């Protein structure tokens, strides 16, 4: 997929990223682009953008955004001081989901994470995403842990 470009998101990408996140069965119920929600997304973007341990990526094919993901680099003391990469909010444009863009995105993210000193990549995935589970299995990810979430707000 030599024609894909991977770049750090800029503020002008915000609506496109939100649209990619919402263009999904689960995302459609979690993401909105109503005027009253834009400020929350904007504040989150600014916080992500200012943090050197965050990389919000836009994947383009020509001038069209075809995917997005967020990498978080997590320094830690466990596992002998291993730095981890957490990859989340992975989305490929609905019209391009069978074009192997997801594979290219993960290859790029893994290489980028290694180049930033990460020895481990992890992710969470909703139990309701069996297709995603098969995809992650195929990429070599192992379902080694059980994840829990607690709503705080």
Mean pLDDT of all residues belonging to the chain: 92
Instruction: Give pLDDT tens digits for 66-123.
Output: 999 999 999 999 999 999 999 999 999 999 988 999 999 999 999 999 999 999 999 9
Give a yes or no: residue 152 inside a domain.
no
For residue 118, the cross-strand partners are 83
Give a yes or no: residue 65 inside a domain.
yes
Instruction: Give pLDDT tens digits for 10-21.
Output: 999 999 999 999
What is the pLDDT at residue 121?
98
Give a yes or no: residue 62 inside a domain.
yes
Q: Report the number of distinct structural domains present in the chain.
A: 1
Determine the average pLDDT of the residues in 118-141. Answer: 93
Give a yes or no: residue 47 inside a domain.
yes
Q: Identify whether the C-beta of residue 86 lies closer than 8 Å to the C-beta of residue 109.
A: no
Residue 64 — very low, low, confident or very high, per pLDDT cuts 50/70/90? very high
Q: Identify whether the C-beta of residue 102 lies closer than 8 Å to the C-beta of residue 67.
A: yes
- The distance of Cα 88 from the centroid of its chain, to the nearest Å, equals 4
Residue 26 has pLDDT above 70, yes or no: no
Q: Starting from the edge strand earliest in sequence, which strands make up the sheet with 54-61, in order?
A: 4-8, 54-61, 64-74, 83-92, 118-122
What is the pLDDT at residue 29?
60
Give a yes or no: residue 150 inside a domain.
no
**103 lies in which domain range?**
4-139
Give a yes or no: residue 34 inside a domain.
yes
Give a yes or no: residue 153 inside a domain.
no
Determine the average pLDDT of the residues in 46-59. Answer: 98
What is the pLDDT at residue 2?
66
Residue from 16, 70, 27, 75 nearest 48 by CA: 70
Q: Which helix (H) or strand (E) holds 53?
A: none
Provide the CATH number for the domain around residue 112.
3.40.630.30
What is the pLDDT at residue 22?
87
Cα atoms in the 13 Å half-sphere on the side-chain side of 116: 21
Sign for the CA dihedral angle at 64, 66, 70, 71 comes to: negative
Three-state secondary-structure class, residue 80: helix
Give a yes or no: residue 35 inside a domain.
yes
- Which DSSP letter does residue 52 get? T
What is the pLDDT at residue 13?
97
């Amino acid at each position: 997929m030599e024609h894909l470009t991977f770049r750090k998101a800029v503020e002008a990408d915000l609506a496109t990223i939100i649209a990619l996140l919402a263009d999904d069965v689960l995302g459609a119920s979690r993401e909105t682009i109503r005027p009253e929600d834009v400020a929350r997304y904007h504040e989150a973007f600014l916080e992500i953008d200012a943090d050197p341990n965050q990389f919000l990526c836009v994947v383009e094919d020509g001038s069209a955004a075809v995917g997005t993901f967020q990498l978080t680099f997590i320094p830690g003391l466990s596992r002998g001081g291993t730095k981890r990469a957490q990859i989340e909010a992975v989305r490929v444009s609905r019209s391009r989901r069978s074009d192997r863009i997801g594979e290219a995105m993960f290859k790029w993210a893994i290489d980028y994470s290694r180049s930033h000193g990460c020895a481990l990549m992890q992710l969470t995935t909703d139990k309701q995403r069996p297709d995603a589970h098969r995809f992650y299995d195929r990429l070599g990810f192992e379902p080694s842990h059980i994840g829990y979430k607690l709503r705080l707000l």
